[in-house]
Chain A
């Protein structure tokens, strides 16, 4: 099994997921599960701190598309920060940065979403 973990915290009305480890299908499912739960509880602003996730695969990232889809239905927002360059490149190639945003830092992300 993958060594993938998530810590969740709240900053005001923003849910922050801090991931660590390889974002594969299992990691993607766990991220999506927490995001969907948060959306069902009325949360609309989700951030993922990827400081400790240095590698992803396309299956894990494709699961994030489900989260984007769910957020579109409720006028919500998904963002990321501390994203490794290769992950940012992967997000750009897949086009998910057209529907979610990469921020340079947590401060920048929170300021943008507040």
Chain B
């Protein structure tokens, strides 16, 4: 039997990432995840959604799947944008951001620090980030 899955489609609109976090909170509660893990999931999800909204340069909807595995919550955030190579994204450093024109670019780092695993699949047809949080 397949794992229970919740699916959400979000338009590219200001603050729509908060709709994704509300859904995550309901699922985390259903899974008996503690508040700290729930907050970490929400923060990582916000960053994944923002990346999908902004970096995809796409006006299409983004797609989110929450897969409730017995051992973990798996979240997939997909867009139909132009794709990117996560390997070439530099790890941001605050000392370099100070006095730099570009102070942004923290999303991937936050996702990696807050979730147990983060993987990217990207092509010119879009990007899917898959994040997991263990129970």
Contacts and interface: CB of A to CB of B under 8 A. Distances in A.
A58 interface: yes
Interface stretch (A6-14, A42-50, A92-100): A92-100
* Size category of the binding interface on chain B: 20 to 34
A59 interface: yes
Interface residues of A, number: 29
A58 B44 CA distance: 10
Contacts of B21: 55
Given A59-B104, A68-B98, A24 B15 contact: yes
Contacts of B50: 57-59
Nearest to A84: B39
Nearest to B49: A57
Nearest to A92: B113
A90 B43 CA distance: 8
Contact of B109 (A24, A86, A93): A93
10 closest pairs, A vs B, by CB? A95-B94, A86-B39, A58-B106, A62-B103, A65-B103, A93-B113, A62-B104, A57-B46, A69-B98, A86-B43
Given A58-B107, A86-B36, A86-B43, 12 more contacts: A1-B14, A24-B14, A55-B42, A57-B46, A57-B47, A59-B50, A62-B97, A65-B103, A69-B99, A90-B110, A94-B106, A95-B94
